Amino acid sequence: GAGVSQTPSNKVTEKGKYVELRCDPISGHTALYWYRQSLGQGPEFLIYFQGTGAADDSGLPNDRFFAVRPEGSVSTLKIQRTERGDSAVYLCASSATSGGPPWAAQYFGPGTRLLVL
Amino acid sequence: GDSVTQMEGPVTLSEEAFLTINCTYTATGYPSLFWYVQYPGEGLQLLLKATKADDKGSNKGFEATYRKETTSFHLEKGSVQVSDSAVYFCALTGAGANSKLTFGKGITLSVRP
């Protein structure tokens, strides 16, 4: 079946602009995660959705970052007033867990590479 | 908070060599432990996992044992292949219901023919 998909695959923007990054999880997966991966680093957690609600947004770096998942499927990560330091690969993952075992596998998308000039 | 430390890379080996990639962790309670792999041009994939002390995860010839006494989860393979060239990430999820992953920095493995 189809895996996690993310669009766009690449995004170049100018400092100060607004961007939206989209994630389509695996059908039926209730849990959705956003991570950010800077060059030479491992992914860092941003936010976790269980259904439509953000169960944990403790990884969002500041209030310029916001994410939604209005129907419990597709999610959009929104970044306002982008800064050069926001340049990274933004990864989305989904999981079939629904408040169950924390070791349920997370399936990752290919990522969106964001470059802020 | 939780953290994962991986050995410094990159690592270059000849085909059929023995591989060990070290990983240690800091976490409260009893985390679950994972190795993820990222092949060139592809997304992160789960390689193996272990959910409690002394468990051994294995897949594709790779193994890792959850050692609580040394807080380690070292990845091993007896005979690497060129196709194993990739970036390897050690990760954990906490003991609570929130299953966010905490990753190490990753290590690049290159296998020469």
Task: Please write the tens of the pLDDT for every residue from A15-66.
Answer: 999 999 999 999 989 899 999 999 989 999 999 998 899 989 999 999 999 9
CB B25 within 8 A of CB B11: no
Chain B: residue whose CA lies nearest to A102: B99
CB contact under 8 A, A102 and B49: no
Q: Give the closest of B44, B49, B99 to A108, CB-based.
A: B44
pLDDT confidence band for A1 (50 / 70 / 90): low
User: Pseudo-torsion of CA B59, B57, A23, A113, nearest 10°?
Assistant: -70
Which DSSP symbol is given to A94? E
Q: Name the minimum distance, in Å, from the CA of A71 to any CA of chain B.
A: 21
